[in-house]
Amino acid sequence: MIEVKNLVKTFQAGDSTVTAVSDVSFNVPDGQFASIVGRSGSGKSTLLSLLGALDTPTSGSIIVGDRDDVTRLQDRELTRYRGRSIGFIFQNYNLVPSLTARENVMLPMEFARVPKAERRQRAEKLLGEVGLEPDQMDRKPGRLSGGQQQRVAIARALANRPQLILADEPTGNLDSATGKMIFDLLHTLSRTQRTTIIVVTHDLEIAGKTDRTFTLEDGKLVR
Partner 1 sequence: MNPVSRGIRNAFRNGVRTGSIVLILGISIGLSLTMLVAQTAVASKIKSVKSSIGNTITVAPAGFSPGAQANNVLTSDELSKVQALTHISSVEETLTDRQSTTGSSTPSFGRFGGSTDSSSQTTTSLQSPITLSGGPRFLSGGGESSDSDTTNFTLPVSFLGTTNPGSVSGDAITLSKGQAIAGTSDTNNVLVSNKMASKNNLSVGSTFTAYNTTLTVAGIFTSSNSNQGADNTVVLSLPAMQRLSGNSKAVTSATITVDSLDNLSSVTAHVKSTLGSSADVTSAQDQADNTVKPLNSVKTVSTFSLVGAVVAGAIIILLTMIMVVRERRREIGVVKAIGGSNARIIGEFMVESLTLAILGAVVGLLIGVVGGQPVTKMLVDNSASSTTTQTAFQRGGMMGGATPADSTTRSRPRSFGQGLRRNGAVRGFGNIKAQIGLGILLDGFGAAVLIAALGSALAAGMISRVRPSTVMRTE
Binding site for partner 1 (CB under 8 A): 45-46, 48-49, 52, 54-55, 75-76, 79-80, 82-84, 88, 90-92, 94-99, 103, 106-108, 110-112, 156, 160, 168
CA–CA distance, 94 with 117 (Å, rounded to integer): 25
Q: Which amino acid is located at 177 in the chain?
A: A
**14's torsion region: left (phi>0), alpha (psi -120 to 50) or beta?**
left
- Closer residue to partner 1 (CB): 112 or 209: 112
3 state SS of 221: strand
Cβ 120 to partner 1 shortest distance, Å: 10
- Closer residue to partner 1 (CB): 153 or 206: 153
- Closer residue to partner 1 (CB): 65 or 208: 65
Cβ 54 to partner 1 shortest distance, Å: 4
Cβ 98 to partner 1 shortest distance, Å: 6
Cβ 160 to partner 1 shortest distance, Å: 7
Instruction: Determine the number of helices (DSSP H) and then strands (DSSP E) in the chain.
Output: 7, 9
- Closer residue to partner 1 (CB): 50 or 189: 50
Tell me the pairing of strands 196-201 and 33-37.
parallel
CA–CA distance, 123 with 25 (Å, rounded to integer): 35
